[in-house]
Copies of this chain bind each other. A is one copy, B any other.
Amino acid sequence: MLINEATITVRYAETDQMGVVYHANYLVWCEIGRTGLIEELGFKYADMEKQGVLSPVINVNMTYLRPAKYGQQVTVKTWIDSYTGVRVTYGYEMHNSLGELCLTGTSEHVCVNAETFRPVKIKKVFPEWHHAYETNKHNG
């Protein structure tokens, strides 16, 4: 199983008046993790879009254990938790600079036609992605 590690420097704009990172912003970091993982697999999400296919999120499940703060660097680990040929679930873990676990989570995605938003089969449309996902998924 391939695990991507991305390092995020917390932006001031990402904090809220609690003095910690606003909870929705971790979803943005998950996306950075996914993008990095996809690049490690040899692909680019932007290229998928250029071919008229989008990969929207259909579920997110995030558990917040400890807030990240401005001035910290956060390590985002991302992997393919499961893959069915149609649906991908990515897994995430985030640690702060002290090595403390801040977040665990998953996000599920499908691929859809950019015009119609109707589902497309990854296996059929992007056979090379399919192969890479099969090979690198957890329990793959």
Contact = CB atoms under 8 A, between A and B. Distances in A.
A60 B59 contact: no
Interface residues of A, number: 39
Given A15-B17, A18-B54, A24-B13, A64 B70 contact: no
Contact of A24 (B24, B54, B67, B70): B24
A13 B32 CA distance: 10
A11 interface: yes
Given A17-B19, A19-B17, A28 B56 contact: no
A117 B67 CA distance: 9
A118 interface: no
Interface string A57-96: 1111111110100110000000000000000000000000
A31 B19 contact: no
Copies in the complex: 4
A60 B58 contact: no
A11 B24 CA distance: 13
A98 interface: no
A19 B31 CA distance: 17
B15 A28 contact: no
Contacts of A35: 12
Contact of A27 (B27, B46, B117): B27
A23 interface: yes
